[in-house]
Amino acid sequence: MGKNRTSVIVGMSGGVDSSVAALLLKEHGYDVTGLFMKNWDEDDGTEYCTAKQDLEDAQKVCDQLQIKLHTANFSAEYWDNVFEEFLTQYAAGRTPNPDILCNREIKFKQFAKYAIALGSDYIATGHYARGLWENNSFKLLKGSDPLKDQTYFLLAVPSEALQYCLFPLGSLEKNSVRDIARKAGFKNSNKKDSTGICFIGERRFSEFLSRYIPEKTGLIRDVEGLTIGEHVGISYYTIGQRQGLRIGGTQNRPDLPWYVVAKKSADNELVVSQDIQDLNAKWLAAKDLNWLVTPRTTKFSAMAKIRYQQMDQECTVTPRADGTYLVSFLNPQRAISTGQFVCFYEGDLCLGGGLIDSVGGKYDAIF
């Protein structure tokens, strides 16, 4: 698990995963302390964000383990480096992934700085991933549980940050983690996994987004260019969406669902289709590549994911003169979204990944 260093600070979320991570590290002889990070300052009550309860849960576990729990507020850094980018991407008609940005900017940057300031040798998280030192080189490997592997969310974290992180849960399955928590008597052993983003919580996403991005109505057209409805702003829709389009029965059209197949930012238009095959694309272009291995400068074959928990997809990756990478898939991929990320693999080895900048869908606009 380490290189003859003993002190480690665990990012404690109040959930079962980080709790068991702290327990396992302590059992392995590490000098363990915890850190609870607050990344969002609610200004509309606490019903949407569980930070207070999560802190209480984290404190109970740390008290039980007899370890110190530090607290830190990274809300300003989160706003500047994650949330502002989140809004910028949505305003441009893209679909960002704040979880990946949060890992890069907060959990493995601000958290790491805080840990260093406290004199810690390592940080640790409850991610389902594995770190391996081989030939004096750090490698990020998939978690052993294919249903919980979280390397996709780590693709944008620089390798030099990851190499000082321990992943105690990497070889475990989720059920085993809950069993360990129950045997340890942790009150959060059956706590639900967090889903979504704290600053959105249980609210309707459109309700939240409207506080920061004003509505801007425009036309909804079908793939033949015929107007069939009106939208409230392309920022409020995602590629592949079929709910909430408010397209009623359309004359001379079958009674089938409509899907968003493209977002034309320049014209403020949504393109929709009743043919689900119109969501397919054979290629994408990625930029801002973060390599967790030696950077690839020539064409290579790999497996890839364009979303969390997707099955690995066979592809060919070709560097281009403008610094982007063309990713060509063996099989068409459904609902690829700009602003999301693509992650590359060779077996269990995570190679890194980058931001999806454009898509080769039949009806995709060039942003």
Rounded Cα distance, 17 and 64, in Å: 16
CA distances from 188 to 13, 32, 50, 84 (A): 11, 19, 14, 33
Question: Which residues, in sequence order, are bridge partners of residue 354?
Answer: 342
165-166 and 7-11 beta bridge pairing: unpaired
Residue type, 58: A
Contact criterion met (CB below 8 Å) for 144 and 170: yes
User: Residue 168 burial (CB < 10 Å; 0-12/13-18/19+)?
Assistant: buried
Rounded Cα distance, 59 and 61, in Å: 5
CA 173 to chain centre: 20
Residue type, 48: Y
Catalytic residue from among 102, 315, 343, 350:
102
Residues 6 or more apart whose Cβ sits within 8 Å of residue 227: 219, 220, 221
Residue type, 358: S
Residue type, 323: G
Contact criterion met (CB below 8 Å) for 141 and 170: yes
Contact criterion met (CB below 8 Å) for 301 and 314: yes
Q: DSSP H helical segments within 283-356, as ranges?
A: none
Catalytic residue from among 165, 198, 315, 350:
198
Closest to 284 in 3D by CA, of 338, 363, 345, 330: 338
198 catalytic? Reply is: yes
Number of H helices, E strands in the chain: 9, 17
Residues 6 or more apart whose Cβ sits within 8 Å of residue 187: 57, 60
Return the active site residues: 102, 198
